[in-house]
Each structure stands twice: as structure tokens, then as C-alpha cells.
Amino acid sequence: ADFMTPPRAAYTPQVPRLFSETLRENILMGLPESEVDIHRAIEAAVMEQDLQTLDDGLETMVGTRGVKLSGGQMQRTAAARMFARRPELYVFDDLSSALDVKTEQQLWERLFRATGNGQRKPVLSPQSSVLSPQSPTCLVVSHRKPALRRADLIVVLKDGRIEDQGTLDDLLARCEEMQRLWSGDVDGETEDGEMETAV
């Protein structure tokens, strides 16, 4: 149980909680800035272009519950907060639900880069102060195909129970529920690949 608590683990909900403080303070959340490479955390969260459009950059007041930011900016601010903490376990609850397809792709590509043998590793080097020195584990609850394509292991849920688990290729070959979800044969499927049922 200790593994699932800070500082070893960090969690971002689908609707993150931001505070009526500056963007910088919402990312640091009490961490000494001397211990954090905030710009690398922002880069990993695909926020560098957003900073250029905000009047005061990192000193922008985000307003109560982040009302001055878009839904996608709120999610990526919460992601930058996680990256600044360098946990061993990242828990993402539908992190990319408010992102456009291009930004979502960039977010997953920056977190993980495929290597020649199919293994995934953090984009940022082990010496980076954003991610932990060892490759962190990511637990992702997602309805989105871009996240599923990068998963080493997928657990398919149906009616609150585990239906199957395995790699994407294995599940598409044998699991009817995964085939149904992937093909879009569910209510709520959208063109960008969002699925109503979490996998």
C-alpha cells in the first residue's frame, strides 16, 4: 500500500484540481523550485506553446479551479505537476480526454518513445530531473486509442469485471469485447478514437 502513496506515486484525475494561484505554483505545489526542472516538466506535458500565449507565462493566475485555462491546459498542468515530482508510478485517469488528437499524440510520444525491440522508455534521459532515474511505471485508465497503442499490457473491463488482459495485438485477436471496442461498435465512439468503455 505504501507504493501507491506520494512521493512514490502520483495521480492525475480526469478533472484535475487547480488552485487560484499562478501556473508555476500549481505545478510546484510546495516543491522547492531548486529541486525541480520546471521547464522540462512543462515540455513533457506539451505546454511550452501555451506558455507563449499566456499573458504572464508561468506567473499567470489560473483563477479559481483553473477557470482561465482550457480543459486541455488544465489536464496538462496537472501532468506537469506529476512530472515535476519524479515518482516511480504515474497514475493517469483519462489524462488526454480534453486534448485534441495532435496534442494527445505529442503527450504520449514525449512520455514514451518506442525502441527497436518494442520496449518503451521515458523520452527524457535518466539524468533528467523530470522522470525518476529508473523508468517509471505508468498505470493509465483510458478510452483513447493512442494510449492503448503504447501500452505494454491492457486490462479490458466489462461491467466492472476483468474481461481479458494482454497486449493489444493479442486482445484484438482473441477478445470479442476488445474487438468491439476497437472497431467502434459501441455507443459514443468518436472519430478521434475515444471509446465509451474504459480499457
**Domain encompassing residue 47:** 2-136
Structural contact between residues 186 and 195, judged by C-beta atoms closer than 8 angstroms: yes
Say what the pLDDT of residue 186 is: 52
| Residue closest to 110 by CA, chosen among 98, 97, 96 | 96
Strand partners, 61: 22
What per-residue confidence (pLDDT) applies to 2? 62
The verdict on residue 172 lying in a domain is yes
**What single-letter DSSP state applies at residue 136?**
P
**The model's pTM:** 0.76
Is residue 110 located within the same domain as residue 64? yes
Domain count, the chain: 2
CA distance 45 to 104: 10
Q: What is the pLDDT of residue 42?
A: 93
In the predicted model, residues of the chain with pLDDT beneath 50 are 114-133, 187-199
pLDDT digit string, tens, across residues 67-124: 889 989 999 999 999 989 888 888 888 887 788 889 888 888 887 752 222 344 444 3
One domain, residues 98 and 193 = no
